[in-house]
């Protein structure tokens, strides 16, 4: 029986014979020796490859730092292009690199994990698109909160940014069908806005449909029935990638401005993912981490563990003075949380350890 990969085996044999130092026929004088030494790169190094010529199977001759190399790429490009690459790892036989990603901006962007990037590549064959922004990329408050009311508004805006991001749209649809949320709330999410655009398209094509779907509720229902026949809008693909990442990792990361000039990193984690398949009742707890650098306190990281019993807080400061200030304010924090009906079950303030 002829092996299915016979052609590949023959090609490998041919290439091995070509690069072998022992010719199988009459001895021939080498015109040019082939160096066994790979370029002296290190993992993490950025390099620029200028493509000189192409051949079959996405194999390219390129020039990197004055040296001619052979590149095998996962996609087709044309001669003359330049690629920015980042060296990932090195073996005795090859140097592996990935396409360099542009520097992240400082707007409110949801971060995508490595798992999410892999899922994106499997779905589309392309690297993940830039993750969708929360709150339209704008700061959550016009200025730093100076009052209790402004602080409460910040908390409300953070919740709204997540709720209206579209990450939980399908869950919100189920709640909408059971009457737990109104149509206006659903239409604030990207998919909801897309459903009204879909309705306009369908209505233009069929006046009868326009008459039957005159209300926002009917618009959503019509969009849902068309979902299986209409492909996902291109502008929603980053959001789909983000949803898949959240499903795979049970985590969501966000970095953006909470007010102009003040950035914050925010991570939300569902630790119940570790109990899947254990047969035990899921632990109704959440972990969240905030990282920010404040004008007077400097760098502070807050790790919160929220359970039905209350909240436990671990504060990590960049310097000892800030740690002491945070520790001294424990009673005030406990009183504020108690007023919000969230008991403080424990708090520790510590100094960040040097790496």
At the topology level, CATH places domain 41-100 in OB fold (Dihydrolipoamide Acetyltransferase, E2P) (2.40.50)
Mean pLDDT for 72-80 is 66
Q: What is the pLDDT of residue 22?
A: 45
254 in Cβ contact with 292 (< 8 Å): no
Confidence of residue 31 (pLDDT cuts 50, 70, 90): very low
Query: Is residue 37 scored above 60 in pLDDT?
Result: no
**Measured at the alpha carbon of residue 265, what is the angle toward residues 262 and 266, in degrees to the nearest 5?**
125
Q: What is the pLDDT of residue 115?
A: 58
Q: What is the pLDDT of residue 252?
A: 83
- Lowest average pLDDT, out of 8-17, 116-125, 327-336, goes to 8-17
Hey, what are 182's tokens? 């109104």
Q: What is the pLDDT of residue 15?
A: 46
Hey, what are 271's tokens? 């630790």
What is the spatial distance between Cα 48 and Cα 320, in angstroms, rounded to a whole number? 44
- Lowest average pLDDT, out of 20-24, 76-80, 332-336, goes to 20-24
Q: What is the pLDDT of residue 293?
A: 92
First to last CA, the chain: 60
What is the spatial distance between Cα 161 and Cα 167, in angstroms, rounded to a whole number? 10
130 in Cβ contact with 109 (< 8 Å): yes
Q: What is the pLDDT of residue 355?
A: 67
Mean pLDDT for 186-209 is 65
- Taking Cα atoms as reference points, which of 87, 76, 128, 353 lies closest to residue 237? 128
Place of tokens 């790892």: 89
pLDDT tens digits, 212-235: 445 555 555 555 554 444 556 667
245 in Cβ contact with 116 (< 8 Å): yes
Query: Is residue 193 scored above 50 in pLDDT?
Result: yes
What is the spatial distance between Cα 58 and Cα 89, in angstroms, rounded to a whole number? 21
Confidence of residue 106 (pLDDT cuts 50, 70, 90): very low
- Domain boundary assignment for the chain: 41-100, 169-239, 270-351
Angle between helices 237-249 and 114-124 (to 10 degrees): 130
**How high does pLDDT run on average in the chain?**
72
Query: Is residue 313 scored above 90 in pLDDT?
Result: yes
Q: What is the pLDDT of residue 253?
A: 80
Tell me the three state secondary structure of residue 348.
Answer: strand
Query: Is residue 315 scored above 70 in pLDDT?
Result: yes
What is the spatial distance between Cα 291 and Cα 316, in angstroms, rounded to a whole number? 9
* Residue predicted with more confidence, 131 or 173: 173
Confidence of residue 28 (pLDDT cuts 50, 70, 90): very low
Q: What is the pLDDT of residue 326?
A: 96
The winner for highest mean pLDDT among 20-29, 40-49, 269-278 is 40-49
Q: What is the pLDDT of residue 162?
A: 86
188 in Cβ contact with 216 (< 8 Å): no
Containing 300, the helix (H) or strand (E) segment is: strand 298-307
Strand ranges of the sheet holding 286-294, from the earlier edge strand across to the other edge: 109-111, 251-259, 262-269, 286-294, 298-307, 310-317, 344-351
């Amino acid at each position: 029986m002829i092996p299915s990969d016979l052609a590949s085996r023959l090609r490998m044999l041919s290439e091995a014979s070509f690069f072998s130092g022992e010719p199988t026929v009459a001895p021939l004088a080498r015109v040019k020796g082939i160096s066994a030494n790979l370029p002296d790169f290190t993992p993490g190094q950025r390099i620029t490859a200028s493509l000189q010529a192409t051949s079959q199977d996405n194999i390219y001759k390129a020039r990197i730092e004055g040296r001619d190399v052979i590149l095998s790429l996962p996609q087709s490009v044309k001669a003359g292009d330049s690629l920015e690459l980042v060296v990932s790892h090195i073996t005795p036989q090859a140097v592996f690199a990935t396409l360099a990603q542009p520097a992240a901006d400082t707007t409110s962007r949801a971060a995508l994990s490595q798992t999410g990037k892999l899922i994106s590549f499997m779905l589309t064959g392309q690297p993940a698109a830039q993750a969708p922004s929360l709150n339209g990329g704008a700061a959550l408050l016009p200025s730093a909160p100076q009052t209790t009311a402004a602080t409460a508004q910040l908390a409300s805006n953070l919740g709204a940014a997540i709720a209206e991001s579209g990450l939980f749209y399908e869950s919100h649809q189920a709640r909408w069908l059971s009457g737990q949320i109104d149509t206006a709330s659903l239409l604030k999410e990207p998919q909801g806005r897309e459903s009204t655009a879909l309705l306009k398209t369908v209505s233009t094509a069929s006046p009868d449909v326009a008459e039957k779907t005159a209300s926002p509720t009917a618009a959503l229902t019509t969009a849902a029935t068309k979902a299986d026949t209409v492909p996902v809008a291109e502008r929603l693909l980053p959001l789909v990638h983000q949803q898949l990442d959240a499903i795979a990792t049970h985590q969501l990361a966000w970095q953006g401005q909470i007010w102009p000039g003040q950035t914050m990193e925010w991570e939300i984690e569902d630790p119940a993912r570790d109990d899947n398949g254990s047969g035990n009742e899921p632990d109704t707890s959440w972990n969240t981490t905030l990282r920010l650098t404040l004008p007077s306190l400097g760098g502070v990281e807050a790790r919160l563990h929220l359970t039905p019993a209350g909240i436990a807080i671990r504060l990590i400061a960049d310097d000892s003075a800030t740690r002491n200030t945070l520790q001294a304010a424990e009673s005030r924090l406990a009183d504020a949380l108690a007023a919000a009906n969230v008991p403080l079950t424990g708090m520790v303030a510590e100094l960040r350890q040097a790496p």
